[in-house]
């Protein structure tokens, strides 16, 4: 404790010197060394006294992260994300460019096309169904989306998809991309944040939005969904798995999913769920559609897919939806892919996955 107090006092002293003489490199270096020691001592005390699982955030030393003198990119204002910061971030050429399942440039195109106060990204907004994987600019996409979440926390909503999970990120590229552009610790931080993303959103008690679809069994209520422990990697079955993985089918009933997990659900399943929960329809993603969207189950199940020319191969349109009026009638808007730098999809994926794209 005495040693910690000593270095804490030194830190305060050097901090005062740095404020008075900001160009004094020796003082700045000594301040950083003292600060590092103080944090290390605090960390050791925490480990000794606290057996609870610690967040990756606690191990980040943000204060001592250095920014190169010649850095001319986006800058926070007093530590806060601003609209100017987000505009600078989206046009910043230093960012590693790419697609968004990581189709980043198509994501920017959506922002250009939409004039809307509330964005709901159904974790398929830019790549195969979800925020990340497959496309090689997932980092740019997710940082842009998180930035807007910080800028408009009450109006900008992000939902979790089946690709906001560790096993998918390991296979389809996001883990490799983050490690190539940043560090393994950074991927752990993303993984931790993904686990806190909501699984669904209910709009005006009329429309339920999720990534995958409905459930393997009848009787699931909105209260049941609220009670799901989402802060984890998803299980192989159950409501959490279904919300991330299931798909609609044209015939009544349920069948085994072609994906090997969860199920396919028919119009009768959708009708019963909506009636029980007093909802009008559901909006989901999870499947590429030639026109960018598809309306099924007598208008009560809508699929929207926002990654045009998916993986630079599919030739599909992208789409987004505007919900208008008290009845939340959906309006569909289609768009096509925009040019992007010549970095191929799956560039950071597991080598076996890359072979599958050839």
Active site residue 101: no
- Rounded to the nearest 10°, the torsion over CA 106, 101, 173, 290 is -110
Give CA–CA dist 23/12, Å, rounded.
17
Catalytic residue among 101, 128, 163, 286: 163
Q: How far is CA 188 from CA 55, 138, 166, 241, in A?
A: 10, 15, 9, 21
- The phi and psi torsions of 192 (rounded to 5 degrees) equal -65, -40
Three-class HEC string of 147-181: HHHHHCCCCEEECCCCCCCHHHHHHHCHHHHHHHH
Q: How far is CA 28 from CA 9, 24, 62, 66, 125, in A?
A: 15, 6, 15, 11, 43
The single-letter DSSP state of residue 125 is: S
Residues 6+ apart with CB under 8 A from 165: 194, 233, 234, 244
Cβ atoms of residues 168 and 162 within 8 Å: yes
What is the Cα–Cα distance from 150 to 141, expressed in whole angstroms?
A: 14
165, 211 in Cβ contact below 8 A?
no
> So which residues are the catalytic ones?
163
């Amino acid at each position: 404790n005495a040693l910690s107090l000593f270095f804490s006092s030194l830190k305060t002293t050097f901090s005062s010197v740095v404020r008075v003489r900001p160009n004094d490199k020796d003082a700045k270096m000594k301040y950083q060394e003292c600060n590092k020691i103080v944090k290390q001592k605090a960390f050791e005390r925490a480990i000794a006294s606290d057996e609870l699982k610690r967040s990756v955030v606690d191990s980040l030393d943000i204060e001592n992260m250095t920014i190169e003198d010649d850095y001319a990119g986006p800058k926070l204002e007093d530590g806060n994300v601003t609209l100017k910061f987000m505009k600078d971030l989206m046009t910043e050429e230093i960012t590693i460019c790419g697609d968004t399942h990581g189709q980043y440039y198509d994501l920017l195109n959506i922002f250009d096309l939409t004039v809307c106060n509330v964005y709901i990204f159904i974790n398929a907004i830019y790549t195969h169904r979800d925020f990340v994987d497959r496309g090689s600019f997932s980092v740019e996409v997710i940082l842009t989306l998180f930035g807007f979440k910080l800028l408009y926390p009450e109006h900008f909503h992000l939902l979790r998809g089946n690709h906001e999970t560790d096993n998918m990120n390991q296979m389809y590229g996001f883990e490799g991309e983050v490690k190539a552009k940043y560090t393994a610790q950074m991927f752990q931080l993303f993984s931790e944040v993904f686990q806190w993303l909501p699984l669904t959103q209910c709009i005006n008690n009329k429309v339920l939005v999720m990534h995958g679809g409905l459930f393997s069994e009848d009787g699931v209520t909105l209260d049941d969904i609220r009670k799901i422990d989402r802060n984890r990697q998803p299980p192989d079955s159950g409501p959490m798995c279904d919300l991330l993985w299931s798909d609609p089918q044209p015939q009544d009933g349920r069948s085994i999913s072609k994906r090997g997990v969860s199920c396919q659900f028919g119009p009768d399943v959708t009708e019963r769920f909506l009636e029980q929960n007093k909802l009008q329809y559901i909006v989901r993603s999870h499947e590429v559609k030639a026109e960018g969207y598809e309306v099924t189950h007598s208008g009560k199940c809508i699929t929207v897919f926002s990654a045009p020319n998916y993986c630079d191969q599919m030739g599909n349109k992208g789409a987004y939806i505007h919900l208008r009026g008290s009845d939340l009638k959906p309006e569909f808007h289609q768009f096509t892919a925009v040019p992007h730098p010549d970095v191929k999809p799956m560039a950071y994926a597991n080598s076996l996955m890359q072979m599958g794209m050839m």
